[in-house]
Structure 1
Amino acid sequence: MRIGILTEYFPPEMGAPQARLYELAIRLRQRGHDLTIVTAMPNYPTGQIFDEYRGRLFVREKLDGLPVIRTPIFPTKSSNLIVRLTSYMSFVTTSLMMASWFVGKLDILIVESPPLFLGLSGIPMSRWTRSKLVFMVSDIWPDVAIRMGDIISDKQARILEKLEGFIYRHCACVALTNPGAVEQVTQRFPLVPCGVISNGVDTSFFKPDLYSEDIRREFGIKSGQFAVGYCGLHGIFQGLEVVVRAAARLRDNPNIRFVMVGEGPTKQKLIAMVRQEGLNNITFFPHQPKRRMPAILASMDASLIPLAASLPGTMPSKVYEALAAGVPILVTAGCEAEQLIHRYDVGRLFPAGDDETLARGIQELAADPAKRRAIRANALRLAPRFDRGAIADRTDALLRAVAQNRPLPKVEW
């Protein structure tokens, strides 16, 4: 089939949606499909166009054999709503205008959301390419923003809900990342066809045998210490303040060490909290190259995956990487990872913002090596289900069903 992917985020940027779409596109091409990517000039997370693309209004290139069309965007990392909206709509406009000249007939057009607004480009693009529109939703907006609180007003939420419904009703399929998200959307939009295109992990890249004592020493972990690691964006949605408060509760336990790796808008606030508390059991490190992340994760004793709120239908991509590394997860309750914890015993849950429960879970894991070994075995048995190759096979089946107007395959965890 001829498949187009419309997304604001794509390599050489780094991040969960970028990796997810790139890995999926590569594997769909390996299965005999023709792919075309329409994306923005790379600018994430700095909010500035990457040097090699600066000053260029339009780029056609190949990335590892994938045809990529890049159109202009107004880049920003501002949290101001008007500025963010301007950025989103700039790519909606340029992708619609420029791609119309260079994208021919397609069988399937996949549109990545967030941002939700990209559906406004995807709908007419699917019309002129005579393709079936698959709206691939990583986070359900505006539901996520509403649950976070104080991010958008009630009026803005109502407008976005109307936009959400408008876009969904124009889709041949709304593809969510997990069965819980499918249930959430079908309850509100029972006539909208929904399927699952989940995130996943390259189990040949993330694996347990990359554990390294040298890496542990590099990140300040002493011999015999229980290392609790967080690797990723330090942002509002992660709610990392709970980690600092948990570290404060455990300050008198010399056997527990917190390792925070990454960058983001809340990092300086978190560092200030640590200094104010006078903590010496938590250390922050800069963003690390992608090639180092599997060994860093495998060298931790537990993986922190906090969220700022209970977010049903959300599955953090870090869960899959921890499973493949055989590392126990400590994840916020209320997201879809909760089902995996209950069903397969691969970690511990804590309510959003509850540093007491988080600290207790860390202490329990630190004190019970036998339990950690059992969790490790459970995680490694579960990980192949979310290998990117298996995900691509299920996605291939879903897209063929959409193209041929057949019932969508069911996915259960």
Structure 2
Amino acid sequence: MPHHDEAPDRCRVGYVTQWFPPEPAPIPLGIAHALDRQGFTVDVLTGMPNYPDGRLRAGYPAWRRTADREQGVPVLRTPLYPSHDRSAPGRAANYLSYAASSSLLGGPVLRHADVTLVYSGPATAACAAMTARLRWGTPYVAMVMDLWPDSVFASGFLTGGLTRRLAERTLGWFTNQTYRWAEHVTVASPGQREAVVARGVPADRISLVYHWADEKLLHPTEPDAELRRGLGLTDEFVVMYGGNHGAAQGLHTAIEAMARLADLPDVHLVLVGDGIEKRSLQAMAAELGLRTVHFVPAQPPERMAGVAAAADIQLVCLADEPLFRITMPSKVPSILACGQPMVVSAAGDAARVARSAGAGFTCAPGDPTALAATIRQAHSTSRHRLREMGRTGHAYYHDQMSEQAGSRLLADVLTAAAERRGRRRHNPKQVQR
């Protein structure tokens, strides 16, 4: 499915990602648009839309390949088994069916590509790129968003036993191969870089490319007055969490922290979003009698910047898991892009960025007493100083994590990979990795 109307000298990228709009997948879409602005021709190879509820979207065929355009981007969709629940067999079938169909049916995208970019979440998405490397010699760049198999088990799948050990060994071996076969690997945090080096990839083949925010939607703006009004709040000190309410976020720590702040009745926690843990969080807050904890449904993306601006400070919360020390949650660049200060209840890279940016306060994860003390510190800080932290964080985002910074780095990596392929074509005796 080549673009016949594109300039012939544009480098063609076959972009493999299991998730893409109309699914709520702003990061993969943002990467596609950013590469187009950097002068690449981008063709997307993805699956049939079924995320996040595991049900195939109406109007999409279950078991045949289709081609369309999504927000100006050419898209080839291949079949998969729709599933996105807590069932390990169902999730495995979802990942493996897309890996197989994209490898078998992705030729119209990958055969014509100068280089393939793999949005490596899940790691099985790399199967199509590995197949193209074998069939047509197409090099690929692996964009590591989540480290496998670590992230699989941190999400609560296969928590123990023989099955866990076998899956860990198999997935670990496969994931390491996807990294080693890649012409280059990009990682989303410094800790991920160290982990990928430990898995056998030379350091000079790894680049740090932070995932940037959707800057059309997430930027400094005026507060959404309707949020406070709807909650009956005026001048209270609002700590806000916006995003997924899942096990990985460890939001029970935040609820427990609020129970330790009963002597500060003007401190309110507002949780915006949804997720599998939301009901248990609501039950916990009710059981503790916390009238200062509020639950707000997920908001349209175009409203989130204003909603965030209605709070005094944003909360980043992660469970106390080793994997999350090298994880950069997408809400960190999103908060920085909005020019908001933050409280980070996490260790490792997320906390390090908050400190480096001068954008807020940090404390150990999974410790409600420490989080309560940190919120007290933020509460005692003047609002002028908090706004200054937000501005400092926004400047850091622009320099280190913005689309401009990240897309240039990614463009350089893709161009170099395509140029090395060109040199190998002219020198067939050169041995590939």
Q: TM-score, normalised by structure 1?
A: 0.91
Match for residue 236 of structure 2 among 222, 225, 231: 225
* 8 Å CA contact 1:251, 1:280 repeated in 2: no
The CA deviation at 1:258 is 1.0
The answer as to whether partners of 1:176 and 1:195 remain within 8 angstroms in 2 is yes
Structure 1 residue 368 corresponds to structure 2 residue 376: no
- Mapped pair 1:5 → 2:15: yes
Maintained 8 Å contact 1:148/1:308: no
Equivalent residues in 2 for 1:37-48 (5 A)? 37-48=44-55
Quick one: which amino acid aligns to residue 235 of structure 2?
G
State the 1:207 CA deviation: 2.2
**2: CA distance, partners of 1:204 / 1:43:** 26
1:65 and 1:377, CA in 2 relative to 1: closer, same or farther beyond 3 A? closer
Matched, 1:31 2:38: yes
SS in 2 for 1:53: coil
Question: Where do 1:108-187 residues align within 5 Å?
Answer: 108-145=115-152, 151=159, 153-187=164-198
Q: 1:404 aligns with which of 396, 399, 419?
A: 419
For 2:97, the equivalent position in structure 1 comes to 90
* Higher Cα radius of gyration: 2
The whole-number CA distance in structure 2 between the counterparts of 1:163 and 1:69 is 25
Q: Which residue of 2 aligns with 1:326?
A: 339
Query: CA distance change for structure 1 residues 247 and 52 in 2, over 3 Å: closer, same or farther?
Result: farther
Residue 140 of structure 1, CA deviation: 1.0
Gaps of 5+ in 2: 1-10, 422-433
Report sequence identity in percent. Answer: 29
The one-letter code of the counterpart of 2:393 is A
Aligned partners of 2:149 and 2:168 also within 8 Å: yes
Alignment partner, residue 354 of structure 1: 367
1:411 is aligned to: none
Task: Please give the TM-score of this superposition, normalised by the length of structure 2.
Answer: 0.87
- Matched residue, 1:197: 209
My pick for the range that moved more, 62-71 or 397-406, is: 397-406
Equivalent residues of 1:203, 1:383 under 8 A apart = no
Task: Quote the Cα distance in structure 2 between the aligned partners of 1:365 and 1:312.
Answer: 23
Confirm or deny: 8 A CA contact 1:202 1:387 kept in the other structure.
Answer: no
Offset of residue 56 of structure 1: 6.7
What secondary structure does 2:59 align onto?
helix
Native 8 Å contact 1:105 1:130 kept in 2: no
* Other-structure match for 1:410: none
* Residue 191 of structure 1: how far off its partner (Å): 3.3
Task: Tell me which residue corresponds to 2:426.
Answer: none
- C-alpha separation between the residues in 1 aligned to 2:36 and 2:216? 19
| Per-residue deviation, residues 192-250 of structure 1 (Å, max 9, x unmatched) | 721223201244432222323233223x1511111111111111211111111112222
Whether 1:389 and 2:404 are equivalent positions in the alignment is yes
Cα gap change, 1:308/1:302 in structure 2, threshold over 3 Å: closer, same or farther? same
The count of residues paired between Structure 1 and Structure 2 equals: 402
- 1:351 and 1:164 map into 2 onto residues whose CA distance is 30
Q: CA deviation at 1:254?
A: 1.6
Letter in 2 for 1:209: T
Task: Return the alpha-carbon distance in structure 2 between the equivalents of residues 290 and 333 of structure 1.
Answer: 25
Bigger mean CA deviation after superposition, 382-391 or 291-300 = 382-391
Structure 1 residue 267 corresponds to structure 2 residue 282: no
Which residue number in structure 1 is paired with residue 6 of structure 2?
Answer: none
Structure 1: 5+ residue stretches without partners: 407-413
